[in-house]
């Protein structure tokens, strides 16, 4: 079965197909038509371009140079036309131009959103409209992507599934019995999620709005747009000091302490997300000092989306063989 997975983060839009991943910064704008204003000059760098449903967007790093950014940090934006354009534009980097059919699309949504049942159900209803055929152009090349079915999971389930299932989708030995904690540090939020035997343990679900944007706010002396500052951080044009990282980590640890007072009880603690990449050994060593049995993913940034793809592919294989 053809399965595609989407992790629609506020920092990155991550897509996985056939075990391959592509990530694009979640910045998208409608480009302004300046006529001949820039004649004789070079225009500022911009991302890729996508044409969808009569609208043209520029997206990815540099999109903020072309016009006003859309989406922001509001959960309602996750099912918007702009978010669909980000998904399709990112997916196109994994696909050849032409027609592609997916029997299942697995989407990971943030834990705080899923805890708000009313808002989550509204997002689910809008995401259902993504089923069917999507015709678009990415950088002037024609694509058609068809989706038959959509399954929604919490984003940290992806990191858990990435740990549980190997590259051939075999289950880790004793993996189902293990009590596994996922520490997912995204752009907007810290998500805390614990799974054992395929079941969520509600007492350990928590988090807070202490994602990467908290670090960016500490660094944002010029009051730039967060997406632009995030882009500078990715290009190492902005470098957080050890003091900045420690201040941010202290906020993460304070939020974590409320839900996970004792890390020693978990079979594995899995850091994931862009925040884990930024904090790196500072986070790793701090968790180890608290007695955590760390499993550090090979690719923390994409652990969620890879696992979401594995989860969907494993479930589809079970149905066929069961």
Predicted pLDDT at 178: 96
The strands making up 150-154's β-sheet, listed across from edge to edge, are 20-25, 12-17, 3-8, 104-109, 150-154
Q: Using alpha carbons, select from 309, 318, 5 the residue that is nearest to residue 161.
A: 309
Domains and CATH numbers, the chain: 3-154 (3.30.420.40), 156-307 (3.30.420.40)
Predicted pLDDT at 80: 93
C-alpha–C-alpha distance, residues 71 and 83, integer Å: 8
- Residues 1-40: pLDDT tens digits? 799 999 999 999 999 999 999 999 998 888 766 444 444 4
| Torsion over CA: 35, 38, 40, 44 (sign) | negative
Q: Please state the separation of Cα 115 from the chain's center in Å.
A: 18
Predicted pLDDT at 320: 65
C-alpha–C-alpha distance, residues 59 and 220, integer Å: 22
Predicted pLDDT at 37: 46
Helix, strand or coil, per DSSP, at residue 184:
strand
Low-confidence spans in the chain with pLDDT less than 70: 32-46, 71-72, 318-322
Predicted pLDDT at 253: 97
The size of the chain, in residues, is 322
- Residues 135-163: pLDDT tens digits? 999 999 999 999 999 999 999 999 999 99
C-alpha–C-alpha distance, residues 235 and 233, integer Å: 5
């Amino acid at each position: 079965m053809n399965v595609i997975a989407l992790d629609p983060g506020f920092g990155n839009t991550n897509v996985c197909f056939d075990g391959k991943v592509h990530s694009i910064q979640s910045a998208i704008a409608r480009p302004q038509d300046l006529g001949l204003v820039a004649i004789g000059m070079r225009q500022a760098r911009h991302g890729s371009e996508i044409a969808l449903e009569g609208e043209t967007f520029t997206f990815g790093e540099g999109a903020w140079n072309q016009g006003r950014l859309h989406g922001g940090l509001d959960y309602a934006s996750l099912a918007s036309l702009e978010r669909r354009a980000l998904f399709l534009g990112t997916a196109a980097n994994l696909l050849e131009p032409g027609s592609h059919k997916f029997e299942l699309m697995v989407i990971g949504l943030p834990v705080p959103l899923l805890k708000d049942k009313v808002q989550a159900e509204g997002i689910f209803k809008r995401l259902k409209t993504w089923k069917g055929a999507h015709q678009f152009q990415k950088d002037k090349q024609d694509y058609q992507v068809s989706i038959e079915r959509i399954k929604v999971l919490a984003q940290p389930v992806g990191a858990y599934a990435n740990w549980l299932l190997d590259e051939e989708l075999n289950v880790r030995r004793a993996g189902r019995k293990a009590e596994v904690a996922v520490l997912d540090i995204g752009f907007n939020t810290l998500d805390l999620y614990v799974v054992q035997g395929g079941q969520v343990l509600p007492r350990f679900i928590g988090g807070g709005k202490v994602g990467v944007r908290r670090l960016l706010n500490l660094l944002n002396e010029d009051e730039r747009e967060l997406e632009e500052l995030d882009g500078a951080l990715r290009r190492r044009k902005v470098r957080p000091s050890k003091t900045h990282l420690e201040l941010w980590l202290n906020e993460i640890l304070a939020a974590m302490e409320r839900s996970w007072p004792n890390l020693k009880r978990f079979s594995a603690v899995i850091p994931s997300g862009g925040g884990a990449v930024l904090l790196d050994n500072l986070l790793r060593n701090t968790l180890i000092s608290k007695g955590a049995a760390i499993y550090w993913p090979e690719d923390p940034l994409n652990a969620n989306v890879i696992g979401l793809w594995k989860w969907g592919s494993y479930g589809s294989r079970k149905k066929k063989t069961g």
